[in-house]
Structure 1
Amino acid sequence: MASVLKLLPLLLFCSSYHYLIAHAGDDHSYKVLSLDSLKSDAVCSGPKGTYTPSSDGASTVPLHHRHGPCSPLATKKTLTLEEILRGDKLRASYIQRKFSKAGAGDVQQSDAATVPTTLGTSLDTLEYLITVKLGSQAATQTMLIDTGSDVSWVQCKPCSQCHSQADPLFNPSSSRTYSPFSCSSATCTQLGQEGNGCSTSSQCQYIVTYGDGSSTTGTYSSDTLALGSNTVRNFQFGCSQVESGFNDQTDGLMGLGGGPQSLTSQTAGTFGTAFSYCLPATSSSSGFLKLGAGTSGFVKTPMLRSSQVPTFYGVRIQAIRVGGKQLSIPASVFSAGTVMDSGTVITRLPQTAYSALSSAFKAGMKQYPPAPPSDPFDTCFDFSGQSSVTIPTVAFVFSGGAVVNLDPNGIILDSCLAFVSNGDDSSLGIIGNVQQRTFEVLYDVGGGAVGFKAGAC
């Protein structure tokens, strides 16, 4: 697969990034994983529906798992792992197709508000959500977050085709600050392929279609958005009147991608060009989303961006370590690049890299009987009768020398190694949210870096 995340000239990586390690402990060979930690408690162990005000000008809101006791949704639909991963495969394929269609283009190394986060799903794949307030009436909206989307949207009255949701539909007529964009506005033109023409009243229409065929369309508008104690005026979003394919209780989606329509791009003038999040390991704990994030204290690697697919944030993996030992994987295997994506569940690796990871991990797990493959996983173990297991550490080595030692909860999923193969060595890699969990992940767009800070939530 041709990819826009081609290797850049060496000088782009001759930066000030130091050889740093982000890890969850001191032992880089083995970790003890409590199997109970893979399960969710019945009681929320983190703040529910609250946020921590920031003193540094940033805006922070809680982030939660869509399913579980911390979720603000009244209805907590239980999806099987098979259902979640079926949708996950569709999403990953969609991302890879977007880069494949873009072809080999130009990639550049890119030259504060906090909101709580919780784990949740959209399209059976997106798994984390935040609660915000929209409009002059401060209507509560529970929205999924997605670094792979730019256009944000909520379901609005009047709605001719909407799914059932946790909160009342947003009513534009009740908000004094609501304003639809005209078809002739520069903002409407900027939508590009996500524009959908004009309504009979000459209002700008948007349309977003997702990887599994789900879609939303309606009026592209602006209104006041409250993120915790911070207010964003003239926030641009889609007022959805027709949608299809959604079966969750969320009110909409908040785009955190790199395009001009995303929340992070719109608020860069207020909070700066850096944001971060921490995704909780289980549905019974909370994380956060922070706009205007500080950039110190992180293990950093250069960020890759594509002018043809600006939504996504890319990184370059150089090597993988298992049990503290670097695997014999040619660096060229990772030349297609890797996307950081909060909405993809499990990490996709080039076939050669995955095979080496799987073999080394099995060698370090000989004390546990193998278990039959469980689609899409092929490296599974029988942990019957065990309350905890000892597993080899797994670490990514990124360009610039940054080493990120994964949390044990980011290595095992449902008794299997939580990685899958792309099927070949030419496809774009994706680092999913399982491997990102418990890290504060920094997207320093202005500084051209992606960062990691262990044990943040």
Structure 2
Amino acid sequence: MASAPKLLLLLLCSYHTLVAQAGGDSSYKLLSISSLKSDSVCSEPKATPSSTGVTVPLHHRHGPCSPAPSKKMPALEEMLRRDQLRAAYIQRKYSAAKGGAGDVQQSDATVPTTLGTSLNTLEYVITVGIGSPAVTQTMLIDTGSDVSWVQCKPCSQCHSQADPLFNPSSSSTYSPFSCSSATCAQLGQEGNGCSSSQCQYIVTYGDGSSTTGTYSSDTLALGSNTVRNFQFGCSQVESGLNDQTAGLMGLGGGAQSLASQTAGTFGRAFSYCLPPNPGSSGFLTLGAGTSGFVKTPMLRSSQVPTFYGVRLQAIRVGGRQLSIPASVFSAGTVMDSGTVITRLPRTAYSALSSAFKAGMKQYPSAPPSGIFDTCFDFSGQSSISIPTIQLVFSGGAVVDLAAEGIILSSCLAFAGNSDDSSLGIIGNVQQRTFEVLYDVGGGAVGFKAGAC
């Protein structure tokens, strides 16, 4: 039996090398070039949720697995343009909460500082049922939104959708909130007055999209499970979203979100796994188990309650930790399912880009593309060898990114903020293949590699 001091040393070593790995621990990973291209066929899911909670499939909205097939994948430049609007909006929200001017570049000055984030950057959908009898609705998910909504009859301004339009008059369990209800008062800024004594809501997103209608409740079906009196917006006027989905499911930290509303039923933890590419599937779990994850403390702001914060402390490339002062990360970082590309403080990004280029000398460089400035020419290659990238969070959590979370369209899938004072954002590309746990009750964010 090991002596107490030796046992303590072993435990300490185990704690400090706690790593959520995706693809081994060597200093390089192999990535197939074919995986960088859009799939036209839906592959069988290998999703393995870690708990007995309520789990529903999750798909990329532009991929072949999507139950609401929309127009083709947007061009990379357009996707990055939209993504920059969303990132700038989130950073402004935090800057305003701190009382600062924020990281608002001139090109972003015309984007309204509004309640929601950009709708058109959202990439992942789930299918639920609303009403009695239940009507199938395919909805975008967003950890950066609280108010959920679907398009409803009568709809004076709606986009086309793959599912039947929800008709409140056909549901025996539908109920609009009255203007005098506590639920209506709880909407706060999202409240939009009264119409025929019924509570009205409005959410305007950072890209100019908006939804308004009657704030209501009805039965929500998640797989074989039902949630009674689920609160959502019955949208009669919507603008700016041009796809085939029925609406949005908010997973933020505010009182109106799905995660908050179902906490009493399923518990205060949820998780999701974003698939490695649009041609495969992931999952969303409410009431997620919390064991088996590499965890870091969850940081919350009472002024910006929607978002889930973490503390990024260091970055490793090819197994070697970059020389980045800890103070560089002091502005904080949030996890966001709707931001595509991870944003890093300028100093941290510069160090990452330089180290990554040094490990990619065997491949010719390629011109920048949008916000991407670390790009490569992989012509003639069937697979490439790329340096590992590990994100080191507070509490000893080390997340070894999957190869699909490092390269996007032949470029390093990270971007730098204009300075070191702006909020960092962990985007959805870096989250791919991990089960990402939001343990609100336990105050932690967790990662489990290879879950989908």
Distance 1:196 1:323 in 2: 52
The residue identity in structure 2 corresponding to 1:180 is P
Secondary structure, counterpart of 1:161 in structure 2: coil
Of 221, 238, 247, 2:216 maps to 221
- Of stretches 415-424 and 27-36 in structure 1, the one that deviates more from structure 2 is 27-36
Query: For residues 304-329 of structure 1, what are the alpha-carbon distances to aligned partners after superposition, in whole Å with 9 as ceiling and x for unaligned?
Result: 00001000000000000000000000
Amino acid of the residue matched to residue 160 of structure 1?
A: S
Aligned residue for 1:384?
379
Cα contact 2:310–2:333 (8 A) shared by 1: yes
1:287 aligns with 2:287: no
- Of 87, 91, 98, the residue aligned with 2:82 is 87
Matched, 1:41 2:36: no
8 Å Cα contact 2:343-2:425 kept in structure 1 = yes
Match of 2:134 in 1: 138
Give 2:263's aligned residue: 268
C-alpha separation in 2, matches of 1:215 and 1:208? 6
1:439 alignment partner AA:
F
Q: TM-score, normalised by structure 2?
A: 0.91
Residues 19 and 400 in structure 1, CA contact (< 8 A), matched pair in contact too: no
Distance 2:295 2:429 in 1: 19
Residues matched between the structures, number = 423
For residues 331-375 of structure 1, give each alpha carbon's deviation from its aligned partner in whole angstroms, at most 9, with x where no partner exists: 000001001000000000000000000000000000111111111
Mark the CA change 1:74 to 1:421 in structure 2 (over 3 Å): closer, same or farther. closer
Pairwise CA distance, 1:82: 1.4
1:259 equivalent to 2:254? Answer: yes
Q: How far, CA to CA, are the matches of 1:55 and 1:330 in structure 2? A: 38
Specify the code of the residue in structure 1 equivalent to 2:131: G
Correspondence for 2:324 among 326, 329, 339: 329
Deviation at 1:25, TM superposition (A): 2.7
Q: Distance in 1 between matches of 2:208 and 2:76?
A: 21
Cα shift at 1:235 = 0.1
Match of residue 106 from structure 2: none
The residue correspondences of 1:48-447 to structure 2 (distance < 5 A) are: 56=52, 58-103=53-98, 123-199=119-195, 201-447=196-442
Distance 2:319 2:312 in 1: 16
Deviation at 1:87, TM superposition (A): 0.9
Instruction: Say which SS state the counterpart of residue 366 (structure 1) adopts.
Output: coil
**2 CA distance for matches of 1:86 and 1:193?**
27
| Gap change, CA 1:192 and 1:165, over 3 Å in 2 | same
CA distance in 2, matches of 1:392, 1:286: 26
Percent of aligned pairs sharing the same letter: 85
In 2: Cα distance, 1:407 partner to 1:332 partner? 27
Contact 1:52 1:60 in 2 (8 A): no
Q: How far is the alpha carbon of 1:81 from its aligned partner?
A: 1.4
Rate the CA distance shift 1:362–1:54 in 2: closer, same or farther, 3 A.
Answer: closer
Aligned 8 A contact 1:47 1:70 in 2? no
Q: Which runs of 5+ in 2 are unaligned?
A: 1-13, 101-116
Using structure 1 for the length normalisation, give the TM-score: 0.90
Q: Label 1:22 to 1:47 Cα distance change in 2 as closer, same or farther (>3 A).
A: closer
Assess if the C-alpha contact under 8 Å between 1:87 and 1:123 holds in 2: no
| Cα contact 2:61–2:69 (8 A) shared by 1 | no
User: Residue 368 of structure 1 contacts residue 381 of structure 1 at CA under 8 Å; is this kept in 2?
Assistant: yes
**What is the distance in 1 between the residues matched to 2:70 and 2:140?**
15
Question: Residues of 1 paired with 2:275 and 2:50: CA distance?
Answer: 20
Is contact 1:349-1:429 (8 Å) kept?
A: yes
Q: Is the 8 A contact 2:62 2:69 kept in 1?
A: no
Q: Deviations over 1:125-165 (max 9, x none)?
A: 10000000000021010000000000000000001111111
Matched residue SS, 1:242:
strand
* Alpha-carbon distance change, 221 to 397 in structure 1, aligned in 2, over 3 angstroms: same
Deviations 1:166-188 (A, max 9, x none): 11210000000000000100000
Distance 1:452 1:55, change over 3 A: closer
- Unaligned residue ranges in structure 1 (runs of 5+): 1-15, 106-120
Query: 2-side partners of 1:202 and 1:77: how far apart?
Result: 42
Question: Secondary structure at the residue paired with 1:304?
Answer: coil
Tell whether the 8 Å contact from 2:49 to 2:285 is kept in structure 1 after alignment: no
Measured in 2, the distance between the counterparts of 1:265 and 1:280 equals: 25
